[in-house]
Amino acid sequence: MEKFTDIEKDQALMKSWLAENRITDTVAKFKHGSGIEKLNLRFDIVKLRKALEDAQQYVVDLGDGFGAIPLTRRPRSTGMSGTGAASDTDLIGRYYLRPDETYEEVARDEVVNEFAFSQFCPEFEGTYFETLHQQLTWRFPIGRMRVLLKEPLTCNSWHRDPEPRLHIPIITNPGSLFVVNHHVTHLPADGSVYFTDTRAYHMAMNGGEHSRVHLVAALPLNT
């Protein structure tokens, strides 16, 4: 039988927890942590949103509330994906997850050579997306660069990727959160560039009432 002192301890803890005011506006701000950091580089959010508005015809519906606009491709190709059409492999690619209570990791989808996506899609030449691509490639090796759309009340799987990513929020809401391991934060859409170490287990969720749109660039690694 549980000791009476243990019951009293739990009651005291509950009383202290209920007395705390946990309502805060900090959930709508960026909080750096292990695996999620903000760069010094910053872009013009107004120009980014205009580029997004002009690119709506190129959105690829991935189903389940997700969409994408590929911005880079393989050279000597005819389509945005590098092969004439945007394939699932190009827009998704290899990832790893632990699907059940055994916690055994399994691989999903095919491996994508991020280094192969070295050409900017000509459909977006002269747009602010091209300016952004130039600025990023001057600084870092960049693989696939995509605009990823997430509808309200959706999230992706708890998984990890072979490489880290850069995230540039274009449209967001306070209910849109990013989690890496045990660190969770909102990424404001103010032109900032965020490093997300998606080699760790992570997920993105949109718990708000409006769409969440991020420009995401892979940082390919030599393995």
Q: Residue 155 is part of a domain; what is its CATH number?
A: 2.60.120.10
The verdict on residue 35 lying in a domain is: no
Please tell me the total count of domains within the chain.
Answer: 1
208 occurs within a structural domain: yes
Q: Report if residue 105 sits inside a domain.
A: yes
End-to-end CA distance of the chain: 57
Q: CA Rg, the chain, in Å?
A: 20
In a domain, 26, yes or no: no
pLDDT at position 80, please?
63
| Residue 16 placed within a domain | no
**Token duo for residue 155:** 């999230």
Within 10 Å of residue 114's Cβ, how many Cβ atoms? 20
What does the DSSP 8-state code read for residue 3?
-
> Domain span at residue 59?
40-218
Assess if residue 55 is contained within a domain.
Answer: yes
Assess if residue 25 is contained within a domain. Answer: no
According to the model, what pLDDT value does residue 84 have?
54
Give every residue of the chain whose pLDDT is below 70, as ranges.
Answer: 1-4, 77-89, 223
**Is 132:121 a contact under the CB 8 Å cutoff?**
no
Inter-axis angle of helices 45-54 and 128-139, nearest 10? 120
Q: How far apart are CA 152 and CA 211, in angstroms?
A: 5
Predicted TM-score of the model (pTM)? 0.90
The closest alpha carbon to 146, from 79, 72, 61, 52, belongs to 72
Domain assignment present for 199: yes
The Cα-based distances of 106 to 41, 100, 163, 181 in angstroms read: 36, 10, 16, 18
Per-residue CA distances from 151 to 38, 66, 122, 204, 215 (Å): 24, 6, 27, 12, 15
